[in-house]
Amino acid sequence: MPPPPPPPYTQEEDVDVDIEGDDEDTGKEQGLAWEEFKRSWDVLQEDEEGSLQSVVATIKQQQIRRRLLRDTDTIQRGIIRFLFLVLDLSNAMLEKDLRPSRLDLTLTLAESFIGEYFDQNPISQLGIIITRDGVAEKLTELSGNPMEHIRALKEKKNKETAGEPSLQNALETARSSLSHVPTHGSREVLVLCGSLTTCDPGNIFDTIDRFKREKIRCSVIGLTAEVQVCRTIAKETNGTYGVVLNEPHYKDLLFELVTPPAVTSSAEAASLVAMGFPRRITERTPSMCMCHKKPVLGGYVCPQCSAKVCELPTDCDVCGMALVASPHLARSYHHLFPVKNFVEVKWDASGADTARCFGCRSSFETPPQSGALAQRASDRFRCPECKHLFCLECDLFVHEALHNCPGCAQR
């Protein structure tokens, strides 16, 4: 039986085909929304008078919100930390939803985190573990030298991605190294995970139980969606878990972990720790150092066994004593007694003491009379202890970098 004849040709069908083709071409030319390049200068908008005061006010509001979210309670913290940074180098890190890519942004922020970590925790140590293709590799051992870790991250072979990560292997590698650290130190693991899957050789919940028994705190930062096993790890080990929304949020989540965590009630009681303050020596001829086993000029001499080391802080390889300098203890001390939050002064306050900032001596803005500008926050903040006034920039500098109030120090 012959096949039925084709339907008669009509011009309407031809028009429909052309319209669909135009839609597809238009979509290809426009591209997807998340693939478009964002220009930050397009966000700035002038008001009716051609001024950018509203934009500046918005930025100040964000800074004030960040200042108010800061925790200044006097609580017990572990200032001697042993932290392993776990980096996901799977194929999922090649995605470009975070510019320029997940991998490039993670490595850049990891270098900044390492520098800030040792600046705020000079008597602590850090190590790096990478996981890819179902295995975990210890990139650097626990040490107090930030340049060693940054140098390892910049090597080309340590930036290559492959396969899927293994969360259990990475955690077990960190646990085996942290099991030998002193009990007075805080044991922590920070995982930067960009994959939704993990290739584990066994039951990861057994690893979580070992973490709980050995009191190792594990925090996770996810670059995609929320993963239940990551949240379980963070919850069971008293860590934190967050999912990145954008590039600035990624940095905020990461740098929140620079501050030492609070000591939990289940932690062991604090004990005295023996520390030595070595003296610096200069030599005309090189001598053997105990940290690198190489002849070097100069260094520090351990006060207990007279062994020479190259840099501080470190642990003496001969007697095991912790060797530090007095500035290192001073920079760790401020975490235990942080500066109290400054109180915002209302616009209607007046007086001679409100003319200039006590920190930078810059003049305060004139209080607005009416209009939209009168609704924005004041730029004056008062220390609750010494009663001096500071601008917003000095407030942030005092709490984030200086960690001492100039007015209180002057008294």
Q: Which range has the worst mean pLDDT, 87-96, 193-202, 398-407?
A: 398-407
Please tell me the distance from the alpha carbon of residue 45 to that of residue 53, in angstroms, as a whole number: 10
Task: Judge whether 128 and 153 are in contact, CB under 8 Å.
Answer: yes
Would you state the pLDDT for residue 263?
78
Tens of pLDDT, residue by residue over 205-258, are: 999 999 999 999 999 999 999 999 999 999 999 999 999 999 989 998 999 899
Computed over every residue of the chain, the mean pLDDT equals 81
Please tell me the distance from the alpha carbon of residue 187 to that of residue 261, in angstroms, as a whole number: 10
Q: Which range has the worst mean pLDDT, 234-238, 283-287, 342-346?
A: 342-346
Q: Which range has the worst mean pLDDT, 7-16, 165-174, 264-273, 366-375?
A: 7-16
Please tell me the distance from the alpha carbon of residue 230 to that of residue 207, in angstroms, as a whole number: 12
Tens of pLDDT, residue by residue over 72-98, are: 666 777 788 999 999 999 999 999 999
Report, at the CATH architecture level, how domain 77-258 is classified: 3-Layer(aba) Sandwich (3.40)
| Strands 186-193 vs 217-222: parallel, antiparallel or unpaired | parallel
Please tell me the distance from the alpha carbon of residue 208 to that of residue 236, in angstroms, as a whole number: 7
Task: Judge whether 344 and 381 are in contact, CB under 8 Å.
Answer: yes
Please tell me the distance from the alpha carbon of residue 321 to that of residue 315, in angstroms, as a whole number: 6
What is the mean predicted confidence (pLDDT) over 21-41? Answer: 49
Q: Which range has the worst mean pLDDT, 65-74, 87-96, 141-150, 266-275?
A: 65-74
Would you state the pLDDT for residue 411?
78
Tens of pLDDT, residue by residue over 172-195, are: 999 999 998 888 889 999 999 999
- Confidence class for position 396, pLDDT limits 50, 70, 90: confident
Task: Judge whether 201 and 133 are in contact, CB under 8 Å.
Answer: no
The encoded tokens of residue 352 equal 């001679």
What does the domain layout of the chain look like in residue ranges?
77-258, 275-333, 343-410
Residue 398: pLDDT above 70? yes
What is the mean predicted confidence (pLDDT) over 350-354? Answer: 51
- Greatest mean pLDDT among 10-14, 33-37, 406-410 lies in 406-410
- Confidence class for position 19, pLDDT limits 50, 70, 90: very low
> Greater confidence, 155 or 79?
155
- Does residue 203 sit in helix, strand or coil? coil
> Greater confidence, 311 or 223?
223
Inter-helix orientation angle 102-120/326-333, to 10°: 110
Task: Judge whether 176 and 137 are in contact, CB under 8 Å.
Answer: no
What is the mean predicted confidence (pLDDT) over 160-164? Answer: 94
CATH of segment(s) 343-410: 3.30.40.10
Would you state the pLDDT for residue 32?
53
Residue 128: pLDDT above 60? yes
Would you state the pLDDT for residue 404?
86
